[in-house]
Structure 1
Amino acid sequence: MRIEILNTGTELLLGTTLNSHGAWLGKELLNLGLRVAKQTTVPDGMPVVEAMKESVERADVLIVTGGLGPTSDDLTREATAEAMGVELIEDEHALRCVVEFFERLGKPMADSNKKQALIPCGAEVLPNPNGTAPGVYVPPRLGKSSPCAVFLLPGPPNELYPMYRAEVPHRLRALAEIADDHRMLELRFTGVGESSFHERLDANLHSMAGLEVGYCARPSEVDLRLIGSSAVVAQARDFALSEYPEHLISENGSSIEEVVVQLLADQGKKLSTAESCTGGRISSRITDVSGASAVFTHGFVTYSNEAKQELLGVGAEILEEFGAVSEEVATAMAEGALRASKADIAVAVTGIAGPTGGSAEKPVGTVWLGFAAKGDNAYAIEQFWPRDRESFKACVSQKALDMVRRYLLFGA
C-alpha cells in the first residue's frame, strides 16, 4: 500500500512551527506494518489543491494534516472535493459537532465556522472532541479518476493525535487487509556496534519466513525492529536475546535511564553519581525521568582536582601519583560518592573530552568509569571514545548508566 502524507500550513515552511507530524505519523503507521512512501509540505491556499491532485493519482492512501479551519486560506476540504471529482455539501452531523463544541465552551459561534461542516459528498465525518474542525474520511470508492482513500485531519497535535488513534488505524487495517495476528517489536540494545550486531544476527533473521527486519543506530545503542506474525516475531526475539542476553535495554522503547530508575525503584535502592568529564550529564539523564527523586540522592560534579578532594575525599597523593584520569581516581571517586551520599550504588567518571588536553599515554577520548556498591568491592574500567565532546559525553554517560543497569540485573 502506497501511503502519502500532505502537511499544509504556511507556518511549517516559514520555520515558525516545527513540522513533527510526518515523524509521528510514520511511527504510528509502522506499528501497523505500513510505510510512508512520500511526505509533502505545502503552504496554505491553492498549492494545497495542486498537491492534492498529484497525490491522489499516485497514492492508495493520502493523509492530510491541517487546513480544516474557518479562514479563507483553509482549503483542504475544497481541494479534496476538486481532486476527487465530488461536490461539497453541508453535513448536518458535522455542523452539529461544531455547534456543540462552542456550546461546551459557552461561547458564540461565528458564521465563518459553518465552513467547517462542509464535507465531500459521500465522505464520513470524523469526530473531534478536542477542537472545532471535524475530520473527514473519503473512502476510495468516491474517487472518480483513481481509488485513493483520503483522511483529512486537523493540524494541532492535541486534535490530530487523538483523532488519528480513534479513527484511522482500523480503517487502514481494512484497506490493507492486515491480519489480526500482526506484530511489531522494537528491541533496544546497548554496548554493541551496529555493524557487528547486524553481521551476527542478519543471516539467521532473514531466513525466518514472513519476518521483516530493520536496524536503527544511535550513539552506544542499536534498535532491532521486528515485524511479522506473533510466532515469527517471538522466534526472532528469542534468537536475538540468545546472542546478546545482557545487552538488551528494553522491549517497549524505554530509554536506559528509564530502565535504571525503574530497576532502582523495584529493588528499593538509591544511586548517586560523581562526574568530571561529563559535567552532570549522567545525573541530568536520570532526573529527566519521572520518579527519579525516589531513587537518586546526589549528583557530584567534581571537575577540578580540588573538588574531587573536598567533596569526595579523593587523596591528593592519588591525584598526584596517577593523575585525575586514572583507575585509582575513578575508583576513589565512586567510593567517595557512596560514602558522602549514603546511597546504595555510586558511579563515577573521569576522562579527557578534548579536543585538547590529551597526551601519548592518555589520548583524547580516554575515560575511566568507577563503580561502587554497598557490600561489594569498588572497581573501575577504562574506555576509549575519540569523538567530539558532545558524542564523547553521550557515550560515557550511556556506559555509566549501563554499569548500573547490569549490576541491578546481573549483580556485575
Structure 2
Amino acid sequence: MSRHYDIAIVGGGFVGGTLACALAATSRRIALIESKPVSSVNGTGRNRDERSIALALASKKMFDALGVWEQIGLHSIAIRKIHISDRGRFGAMRMDCRNHESEGFGYMVPAEKLILSLQEHLRRYENIHCIRPYKVSDIESHADRVILHGEGEPIQTDLLIAADGTNSFIRNKLGIPTNEKKYHQTAIVGNVSVDDDHQFTAYERFTREGPLTLLPHAGNNCGFVWVLPDNIARELVARSDEDFLLQLQQAFGYRLGYFSGIGKRFAYPLSLLVSHRRTQGRVVLIGNAAQTLHPIGAQSLNLAMRDVAELSEMLHASQDGLDGIDEKLCAYASGRQSDIKRTIRLTDIFNFLFTTNDLVLSRTRGIGLALLGAIPVLENIVLRQSSGVPSSVANLLHGKPLQSA
C-alpha cells in the first residue's frame, strides 16, 4: 500500500526546504523527502556543516515574505560593501550599499542555521510531512502521477519536484540528459580568522592561480572560496593548515591584516551542468538538479531560489487542483529559460575573464574593474544581477506574499 500526496519534494536541503515553506500555506498535502537522517542533516561535532551561504537581497526578501527570515536573520551578517581587485594589476571596483540606498548587497547565513530555521518553520504546518531517512531507489512515472519506491512503503504523488542536487537520482533515473562542461578547476572552501575588522565587506580577489573570495562572518572571521586549477588545488589541499594559511595570505594580501586560525577545508570539483529538460511528465527539476553553475559571483543558489519563487507562484495560483498542470509546467520551464541562460553566460564569462592567462585580457582586467566602479550605469547592471532579481516579477522575490488565482 502506498502513501498519497498532492506534491512530493525529493531533497530536503536549502532548495527543497524553501519550496516546502512556500507551499505550506496551501491546502495541498505535501511530502518533503530527504535521504539523510535528521542528525546527519543538522550535524554535530566533526560532522557540522561549517559553510556559510551567500543570499542575494531578493532571496532575503523571499524568506521575509515566507515568515522565515525572523529566525534566519538572528544568525545573518549583511554584506554592506564589495571590493573587487586583480592581484598585481591596476584598478579595483568598490561599492557601498549606502550609495545605492540599500540595506545591503546580500547576507551571509551559516548553512546549518538556515536548514534548522527551515525545519523549525515547517513544523507549524500539519499538511507538510517530512519523511526521512527515505532513499528513493526506483520511480514509476505515469501520465497523472508518480510513484516512488525506496526504504519503506511506496510514495504516490500527483506532482514530483526533484531538488536532489547536482547528481540528481530523479533526473538520472528518468533518463533526462545533461550537458556538462568541465572547468578543470576545484573550489577550496573554508573559514579563516583575520586581525582587522572586515567592515561587512565581501572581497573578490583575482589571482594568477584563480579567483579568491572572502565573505564576512560574525566577529573577525571570514569564509573563503578559492578556485584553482585541479593540480594546484590537490597540492594545496594536501598541505598542513599552517602552509595553506601562508599561501592564502600571500594570494589575498594584507587588507584584513594577518590571517590566524583556519577551520576545516573542503574541496569541490567544478563544472557547468545543465539539464536538457526541466520538466518531464509530472516531474519538475529545480535548483542544482536542473542546473549547476560555477560558484563565481555566488549565483547558483540564488538562481535556485528564483526557481522556487516562480514555481511556487504558479502552483499557488492553481491550488484548487492540478487541472491543466502539464501546460502550466511547460510554461514555467519556458519562462525560466532567459534568466537561466543569462546567469550561466554571465558566470561563464566572468570565470574565463578572470582565470585566463591571455596577456592582453589579463592586462585589461584592471581597466575594466576601474570602469565598472567609475560608471554608475555599468555598476548598476552588475548590482541588478547580483541582487537576484533580474527582470523577475515573482511576488516572493520582491518581499510580497503569494497570491492565489
Same fold (TM > 0.5) = no
Q: Give the structure-1-normalised TM-score.
A: 0.24
Return the index of the structure with the highest Cα Rg.
1
Give the number of the structure with larger relative contact order, counting CA–CA contacts within 8 Å between residues 6 or more apart: 2
Compare the two structures and name the one with the higher helix fraction: 1
